Structure 1
Amino acid sequence: MIERKDLGAWLEGPPTDEEYVRGSRLGLPAEGSGSVAPIGRRILSLLIDWALCLLVSQLFTGGDPAMTLGLFAVENLLLISLFGITIGQFAMAVRVTPVRGRQPILLRSLIRIVLMLLLLPAIIWNRDAQPLHDVAAGTAVVRR
């Protein structure tokens, strides 16, 4: 039988360690350039990228959803592979950086975008504010 104290703990969220610094396990600084990017900036950068892809899709194909998704994937793959940053990330002063392994950035970008498009890995985050697609790719989104 479920007791009230069990529900109360669940409703309060997962246990937290007040002294833990996000990104410290990844070797990232606590503050400033190179620290874990705030979630708000990350979401806004995603929305900017999506809006730009939607605009281009609207101009050339009348807003075809498949074209918008394809443009979003290509933008992320190319720009992150070449520069480590998308247009939206540039606008929000964040970037993608490798945090583990030695895979080429093209492979990291491919893993990252494929998992991001599946959506579920993008909405599950770890203690370091790293979504599962970044964990799998060995990357993190940090402040510039």
Structure 2
Amino acid sequence: MDKRRAIGSWLSGPRAALEQEGADFGYRGQQLGLPESGPGSLAGPGRRLAALAVDWGLCLLIAYGLITDGYRQATGNWALLIFFVLSVLTVGTIGCTPGKRLLGLRVVVLETGTVSPTRALMRSALLCLAIPALVWDRDGRGFHDRLARTVEVRI
């Protein structure tokens, strides 16, 4: 019985094992002072990835249609540059990209509620590197959001 329990805790991860022992982690966003659900709550990974896919698709269409003549590597490079500029301009001014707006998300700073252009620049540069966005904390925030001190919430 002990082997089965040990294997089960290994498969479900350390968080599940600690929760079975009585640890209370609360809900995602609780440490940040965000509500558990509804407007202002932390955005889930599915919506964030879908918004990223919409934005990336839009940038690919722009790069393919306006800038390149069909050369695939150049299209991807131009799309990344367009994505960076789009992200800096839209997040730094209105707080969301077209994909985020379509899916009901917004990037905010917890202290002020708005994202400054400097923070948007840092967040976008780290997002384009991809690795910081793939490392998440306990609340589900990417490392790029932690470094820029921003959070993606539902609107």
Q: So what's the TM-score if we normalise by structure 1?
A: 0.87
1:35 aligned residue? 41
How many residues align? The count is 142
Aligned residue identity for 2:94? F
1:13 aligned residue? 13
Gaps of 5+ in 1: none
1:95 aligned residue? 106
Superposition CA RMSD, Å: 2.5
Distance 1:78 1:45, change over 3 A: same
Aligned counterpart in structure 2 of residue 52 of structure 1, from 53, 58, 68: 58
Helix, strand or coil at the partner of 1:31: coil
Q: Percent identity?
A: 37
Gaps of 5+ in 2: none
- 8 A Cα contact 1:34 1:143, kept in partner: yes
Shift in Å at residue 129 of structure 1?
1.1
Aligned residue identity for 2:40? G
Which of the pair has more CA radius of gyration? 2
Shift in Å at residue 43 of structure 1?
0.5
State how far apart, in whole Å, the 2-side matches of 1:30 and 1:132 are.
Answer: 21
- 8 A Cα contact 2:96 2:105, kept in partner: yes
Structure 1, residues 83-142: CA drift from partner, whole Å, max 9, x if none?
A: 000000011001101025899611111111111111111111111110100000001110
